[in-house]
Structure 1
Amino acid sequence: MRRGPGSLHGFTLIELLLAIGLLALLFGMAYAGLRGGLKAADAGEALIDRTNRVRVTQEFVRHQLSRLLPLAFEQDPGNGVFRVFEGESNRIRYVGPMPGYLGKGGPYVQELEILRVGRERQLVFRHWLLNGFDPDDSDNDDALPVRLLAGIDRGGFEFRTVDDRGEISDWTDDWDEESQTPVMIRLQMRMKEDSRLVWPTLDVAMVVDAGSTRGNAGGTFFNTQTQ
């Protein structure tokens, strides 16, 4: 039976296939957009995380070094010199207060070191109470290194002091005036490429007057440990 001129026609097979294909294309584009957005969000979060790791580490190091105290933590048995600050290219040791949430009160012997771990280097932090500090037993379990930042390719500390004319010296990576503190400390590090971290050069000026320790045998010696 033939349909009259006013009867409705259904979709042809070709029209249905075209509609299905168009819907599939739209769903595919929507999924690709959603997936791209998620990847961009993940990449943004990763960038923020990397930036925060560097920022927090720099803030901690700056805070601790800027509060360095001219107090001796050890006396050289050979020449009797009181050691106030030890500085090498990969390690520094000094005395300073700890943040309230980490310390128990009183000054602490603190150490920052660029330590080689496997194929990379890490910036680590150690601390001991000054009262009773024993340099020969400084590797005990109470002072396990705290990792501040990993993924370091190479780096080092540098120091500046004031000469006898009152002028600031050039940077040096070897500190031989152990009875004095530097006036500035620099920490430069080059990060490994796969870490995707960037470390801006950190320069920290000491709050204490390093020149005041000259001729003072390193200031006061607060370590009451019995020798």
Structure 2
Amino acid sequence: MRRSRGFTLIEVLLATVLLVAGLALAFSTLGAATRTATRGEAMAERSERMRTIENFLRTRLNAMRPVGFALDQSRGVTMRFAGEPERMRFVADLPDYLGRGGPYLHELVIEDDRSGGVRLTLGLAMVLAGEVVEEQPPRPPEVLADGLREVRFRYRTLDEDGRMGDWQDRWEAHEQLPLQVQILLVDRDGRVWPPLVVAPPLAPTFTAFNLPVQTQ
């Protein structure tokens, strides 16, 4: 009668090595799939965040109206738009879901976020008879985007030849709306958002005789 033959030590070791290799390959494949899925989710989340913020900004800028909100003391004209490198102010009707409706001063501001980056905030204040009405208690600014490396506001109009001029960092013709407004955003990791360019629908068409004087 033949005795059953067991496994030798070498065969056991070989089987163990093959099992370990198979498990290592399986875990490596699973880890790569997990990392790919995580990157995909992060990219989708970032894209959705970008679309949401850009759509909101585009909607607000497209709702811009040539309504005065203050008096420019230096020039004696009504301020309807004020554009600086780190702040932009204009009046637009506010939807009921954002407030009480009606014309509101929109103040977009670029601020330090205390972590080495910048953030973009929006302040809102009611406008009545050409003046800003302060709410009580004051409404704090809303953070639209944070974790950014850079945000830039730029403006432009026609040049003396009646062609579209260069982008300017300041808009000093406060009584007029610019023909185009641009907002540039850069993430903290250096990725540049698609440039947002909006032409306010109620901006006048300037002529060579009433072009605003602007400085770089």
- Alignment TM class, shorter chain as reference: 0.7 to 0.9
Provide the residue aligned with 1:130 in structure 2: 127
Distance 2:19 2:160 in 1: 82
Q: What code does the residue aligned with 2:24 have? A: G
Distance 1:158 1:77 in 2: 24
Contact kept in structure 2, 1:85 and 1:94, CA below 8 Å: yes
Question: Percent of aligned pairs with the same residue?
Answer: 32
Provide the residue aligned with 1:204 in structure 2: 198
Measured on the aligned residues, the alpha-carbon RMSD in Å equals 2.7
1:101-156 Cα offsets, whole Å, 9 max, x none, are: 21221111101111123321111111112238865968x76332222222333332
Distance 1:120 1:56 in 2: 21
2:188 equivalent to 1:178: no
Written as runs of structure 1 = structure 2, the 5 A alignment for 1:28-43 is 28-43=24-39
Tell me which structure has the larger Cα radius of gyration. 1
Deviation for aligned residue 1:167: 3.9
Deviation for aligned residue 1:28: 2.0
Q: What code does the residue aligned with 1:11 have? A: F
Distance 2:164 2:22 in 1: 68
Provide the residue aligned with 1:22 in structure 2: 18
Distance 2:64 2:199 in 1: 10
For structure 1, which runs of at least 5 residues remain unmatched after alignment?
A: 213-227
Contact kept in structure 1, 2:62 and 2:199, CA below 8 Å: yes
Higher relative contact order (CA 8 A, sep 6+): 1
Deviation for aligned residue 1:209: 3.3
Provide the residue aligned with 1:221 in structure 2: none
